[in-house]
Amino acid sequence: EEYWVKRGNGKHYYYRYCWMVGRKKYRRHIPGGNSSSPLVIYRKQDIEQEILIGRPPIKILELISQFK
């Protein structure tokens, strides 16, 4: 999902991966810059592909940790 952070007079947009365990919602920031960065857009597409394949959240979190 895309989310924003207010800094100064503007909003800065970023992407994060969200998943649920039971009724608890967890979130992990996708590193690489703001949502208009080509690198982050590419990483977001990689994560979306993993979700479509049906990978469990633990495998997707391993992928995100490799981005750092």
**DSSP characters over 26-43:** EEEE--SSSTT-HHHHHH
Q: For 35, phi and psi rounded to 5 degrees?
A: -70, -10
Q: Whole-number mean pLDDT of the chain? A: 94
Element (H, E) at 68: none
- The pTM of the full predicted model, rounded to 2 decimals, is 0.86
Statement: residue 37 has pLDDT above 90: yes
pLDDT at 68: 78
Q: How far apart are CA 57 and CA 51, in angstroms?
A: 8
pLDDT at 31: 94
pLDDT in tens, 54-65: 999 999 999 999
Span 34-50, average pLDDT: 95
Statement: residue 4 has pLDDT above 90: yes
